[in-house]
Amino acid sequence: MTDRVVKLARLALLLGLATVIHTAEAFLPITFVWFRFGFANIIGLATLELFGFKDAVFITLGRIFLGSVAYGLFGSPVFILSLSGGTCAILAMGIIYSFGTRIFSEIGISVTGAVAHNMAQLAVAYFLLVRNEGILVLLPVLLLAAAATGFINGLAARFFVKQFRSLEEKQIHSVNR
C-alpha cells in the first residue's frame, strides 16, 4: 500500500516538474532559440527508466495537456504539433529502451526520441498545416538539432536518474535504521 502511495507521489512530482519545464520553455525568446530544446523530455526519459513505459506515456501526455492549458494554446496548431511530437518521441524511446541500456544509453534513447519528435512534427506540419514541399528543406536542419538537443537531454536525464536513485537509497537506509 505505502509503495503505491510513494509511487503516486513521485509520479505526481515528476508530472509537475515536467509541466513546469514544458511551460517555462515556451517563454524562451524565439529570436535566440528557434527550435525547442525539449528539456521536458528529460523528465519523460527519467520516468521511462524509473517507472516504466506506461507511466512515461502518462507523464508525457499529461505535461503536454497541462502545459498547453497553462500557456493558453490548448487545441491550437502549436498544441497539435507538441502532442504529435511528444507521443512519437515517447513511443520511439519506449521501443529503443526495450533493447536494454547496454546497447543504447540514455543519450541514444534521448537522441532517438528527439529525432522522432522532430520528424513527427515536420510530418504533421506538412500534412496538416503548410502543405508545401518547401518545409522539407528544414528536415536535415531539424535532424542535426535533434541530435544536439538529444545529446544534452540524455546526459541530463542520466544525472537525474542517478541522483533520484541515490536519494531513494538514502531514504531506504534511513527508514531501516
Partner 1 sequence: MKSLFRTRVGMTAGDGILMIFIVILSATLFVLIPRWVLSSGKELEIRAGDKVVGRYSFNTDRLIDVSGPLGTTSVVIKDGRARICSSPCPHKICRDMGDIGLEGGLLVCVPNKVIVTVTRERSDGLDAVTR
> Applying CB under 8 A, which residues contact partner 1?
101-105, 107-108, 111-112, 115, 131, 133-134, 136-137, 139-141, 143-144, 146-147, 151, 154-155, 158-159, 162-163, 166
CA-based nearest residue to 82, from 134, 125, 138, 46: 125
Task: Report, in Å, the least distance between residue 43 CB and partner 1.
Answer: 17
CB of 21 or CB of 145, closer to partner 1: 145
Task: Report, in Å, the least distance between residue 69 CB and partner 1.
Answer: 30
Quick one: how many helices (H) and strands (E) in the chain?
6, 0
Cα–Cα distance measured from residue 53 to residue 126, given in angstroms and rounded to the nearest whole number: 29
Mention every residue, 6+ apart, whose C-beta is less than 8 A from residue 165: 50
Cα–Cα distance measured from residue 106 to residue 163, given in angstroms and rounded to the nearest whole number: 14
CB of 8 or CB of 129, closer to partner 1: 129
Cell of 127: 500534412
Task: Report, in Å, the least distance between residue 116 CB and partner 1.
Answer: 12
Task: Report, in Å, the least distance between residue 107 CB and partner 1.
Answer: 5
